[in-house]
Structure 1
Amino acid sequence: METVNMHEAKTHLSKLVDKASKGESIIIAKAGRPMVRLVAFDAPEEKPKKRIGFMKGQGTFPEDFKAVGREEIEEMFGLSE
């Protein structure tokens, strides 16, 4: 396990991250005192959230859905005869 000081870690962060991603564990110290450990993060890939159809089957629509409110709309726009 490699130990590096804070200044060295800031200067060589990308190299240290490469080492960590290959399985090596690195300790970052401040004034000689170990503060954190840099290790690879193995997280499962995040799946995109399914949005379309998420409420399928949880409600019903009236047969004349497109006609709901038609009279009021026609009145508002002066379309009624």
Structure 2
Amino acid sequence: MKKIIDIQEAESHLSELLKEIMEGGEVIISQNDEPIAELKKIERSNKRELGTLKGKLVVHGDFSDADEQIEEMFDQSKLFPHEKTIN
């Protein structure tokens, strides 16, 4: 059931309104007898939606190809000076 309350009442009783909303209630906030906002619980789904990036993400064919310049930088790195490079 939707409850209509004035904005001043909503400000004074926000925590009670949120409890009602969490239990499934809905609240319409009005100002000068005009509705300005509707509060209701957000229903969240734990289920992942597949395909949300379809058509938005492009992976080029050479994405996983080795980059010679980067490989050379790793080979010359002094991060692991005692390890031998395997070619």
Identify, as 1 or 2, the structure richer in helix.
Answer: 1
**Any unmatched runs of 5+ in structure 2?**
49-62, 79-87
1:60 correspondence with 2:69: no
With normalisation by structure 2, the TM-score equals 0.53
- Name the larger-Rg structure: 1
In the comparison of the two structures, how many residue pairs are matched?
59
RMSD: 2.8
Runs of at least 4 residues off by over 3 Å? 61-65
Pairwise mapping of residues 1-81 of structure 1 onto structure 2 (< 5 A)?
Answer: 1-44=2-45, 58-60=64-66, 65-67=74-76
Gaps of 5+ in 1: 48-56, 71-81
TM-score (norm: length of structure 1): 0.56
Identity over aligned pairs, percent:
22
Given residue 66 of structure 1, which amino acid in structure 2 is its aligned partner?
Answer: D
